[in-house]
Structure 1
């Protein structure tokens, strides 16, 4: 059974101290709840609650063309909706059904714009906990998330350590590094520097589409690896038949319009049709602000109260959230005596690997949900006789 709903959670106080009179949360559930089989899936930055394909094959997907993890979540998939009750909720600050900057402020009758309170990953977690309470779900069988959704998972482990049995952090880290913080800052400047941004109150006029397009292009560059960009585009010209905007300056017409430029322009055009510029500002700031150790002595201290099992999955070609960052997280879990496995996936797809290589992501997730970490032969990174730098789970176990 698949249910897509929006629920009003009533007045919501954000961690910033500001409140809104009504927080509506868009969510989808898949499968039947049996009391101990609930799995919460946390979406990435611009994702929605539409994590799995709907049985009616509806195109009405909250602005997204297809389920964002439809090859991982569903009947017979790694996160099997015939076995588990899967919940995915759109986060506060987004524009996919949950209250955010584009939503109407009931006190003014106008969109919130930048009057919307600052949003943190902790606010996402608290809203999800409230939603699960309304659905009658107490302790989760597992909480799973990729990218900033993995940060959302980590916040669950420090904020509600007794509320989940197992957790999977996929292509994520305890915090962003300075390079990614810098790129996110430039992306936000592209939006706020757009002449149509109007301080975030643009909803009755033209939207800052150019700024949002540039911001998304920066994001796509972050999500790809050098190897994947070379393979997909090289230095090739896009060809005479490719439609492009007018050259930005007269001299540009002399030079080729390359395939990599065409790809970025195409992705930008698609994105501005489905996403809100203010939401991009709010969600990237939430991601940038997240630090697992905030308020604790360190990452290990933040994880110390969690007594379940943690699977960390990283990808060798991902420079957004690196293998080294994932190993640092796994080491913190070991220091906190948390049962943890770090599964390293050999991939040159970059950060997008967790979305585009379900055949590599799915098996370790299904193993975690079905049997936990006890079923895995793990190379112990602390073993002095082990030549490996990290502790990958042997891929052959999941073939």
Structure 2
């Protein structure tokens, strides 16, 4: 598989907030050969990177991930077949995986931008990707695919550059966060801000980083990404065992009560995350997610998508309470009303929001068919009426 892994300067960049930086560098990976009409852009989730598929040149330390985040979907002979498509994934502005963000050096001061980095939005991610594709000589896209906030990124493309893409695949996403998700995002952000080591975002020259607050924020996120059923099945009420090592200090009652398997899992996930992600980037990217609203500047979601006359595949998961099926159907309705030929493929799964990352056997077939055939692909089921019957409340963190 032919692979490009580069960081490209797209020059001075003005963010949607009105602030500018003198040079935006965008880290990207590209797979396959560009033939003029076969480009597919992938949009990563909140803390993802450009490292989508495994390859010999991969440096996972640089990618910031233990493994390629969609390796089961992208590659030769896989759902997004790099023998057929030229696949590009760019790390978004504000991140810490190669593209310019708060931890990057400000050329005007020689120090990290820190909290002086401009606030970022999903619109900024879209424009940075458009600038990168211009540098790569890719004027038009066969498709754009993304999950979670990456799905919002996909929608923003259809809104801002409707003539630049033929097909879009927003997966496990919605036109905006609901109130419960906004609340949990706010708690995650407060966990970081309340860490004494955060110091208003000015911590890059200190040995003690705000890892404790970021660890708690990551744990809240992991609970959001799982469902009740998947947590019960994976952990139950089991004790973690005598050999389990606590990451966080034990409370005064710990000697009387078990350190549970689910606690150990969350502690491990938090410990690995804080070693690879920048707290300021976490703040910036969660803010971008929270403030995304597809209808911004328009009267409705339908109006925002009115200029897109391509084809769409919306994918939802029944166990996803972060972006429930009903939000996916509302998005599909807006696309249909805007005139886009649209299928809403609902996947029965009790895994939770992360199902789009860990269930390639369910995600791959409809995705491959859509890229090849459009909404009429044989593996695609447009469950318009069926999807209206799903009541995602029982999968919520506060449901029963």
TM-score (norm 2): 0.94
- Which of residues 273, 276, 281 is equivalent to 2:275? 273
Provide Cα deviations, 1:207-250, integer angstroms capped at 9, x if missing partner. 10000000000000000000000000001110111111464432
Task: Find the aligned partners of 1:356 and 1:302 in 2 and give their Cα distance.
Answer: 31
Task: Find the aligned partners of 1:169 and 1:3 in 2 and give their Cα distance.
Answer: 25
SS at match of 2:335: helix
Task: Find the aligned partners of 2:16 and 2:234 in 1 and give their Cα distance.
Answer: 42
1:42 aligned partner:
43
1:189 and 2:190 correspond: yes
- Which of residues 230, 235, 238 is equivalent to 1:236? 238
Structure 1 window deviating more from structure 2 (326-335 vs 262-271): it is: 326-335
Asked whether the 8 Å contact 1:43–1:49 carries over to 2, the reply is: yes
SS at match of 1:162: helix
Asked whether the 8 Å contact 1:103–1:112 carries over to 2, the reply is: yes
The Cα shift of 1:58 comes to 4.9
**Cα 1:112–1:61 shift into 2, 3 Å:** closer
The Cα shift of 1:387 comes to 6.4
Task: Find the aligned partners of 1:311 and 1:379 in 2 and give their Cα distance.
Answer: 9
1:77 aligned partner:
78
Task: Find the aligned partners of 2:248 and 2:85 in 1 and give their Cα distance.
Answer: 51
The residue correspondences of 1:297-376 to structure 2 (distance < 5 A) are 297-376=299-378
SS at match of 2:132: helix
Asked whether the 8 Å contact 2:247–2:268 carries over to 1, the reply is: no
**Equivalent residue pairs, number:** 387
Task: Find the aligned partners of 1:254 and 1:159 in 2 and give their Cα distance.
Answer: 58
- Which of residues 207, 219, 222 is equivalent to 1:220? 222
Task: Find the aligned partners of 1:64 and 1:30 in 2 and give their Cα distance.
Answer: 18
2:396 aligned partner:
none
SS at match of 1:69: coil
1:171 and 2:197 correspond: no
1:115 aligned partner:
116
1:95 and 2:72 correspond: no
1:389 and 2:388 correspond: yes
1:397 aligned partner:
none
Q: Which runs of 5+ in 1 are unaligned?
A: 392-399
Asked whether the 8 Å contact 2:346–2:387 carries over to 1, the reply is: no
**Cα 1:23–1:223 shift into 2, 3 Å:** same
1:53 aligned partner:
54
Structure 1 window deviating more from structure 2 (330-339 vs 207-216): it is: 330-339
The Cα shift of 1:310 comes to 0.5
**Cα 1:166–1:81 shift into 2, 3 Å:** same
The Cα shift of 1:336 comes to 1.2
Q: Which runs of 5+ in 2 are unaligned?
A: 391-400
The Cα shift of 1:126 comes to 0.1
Moved over 6 A (4+): none
Task: Find the aligned partners of 2:92 and 2:248 in 1 and give their Cα distance.
Answer: 37
**Cα 1:96–1:59 shift into 2, 3 Å:** closer
**Cα 1:56–1:27 shift into 2, 3 Å:** closer
Task: Find the aligned partners of 2:156 and 2:67 in 1 and give their Cα distance.
Answer: 27
Task: Find the aligned partners of 2:73 and 2:61 in 1 and give their Cα distance.
Answer: 20
Provide Cα deviations, 1:301-345, integer angstroms capped at 9, x if missing partner. 111100100000000000000000000001111111211000000
What is the root-mean-square deviation of aligned Cα atoms in Å? 1.5
Asked whether the 8 Å contact 1:164–1:308 carries over to 2, the reply is: yes
The Cα shift of 1:252 comes to 2.6
Task: Find the aligned partners of 2:369 and 2:249 in 1 and give their Cα distance.
Answer: 51
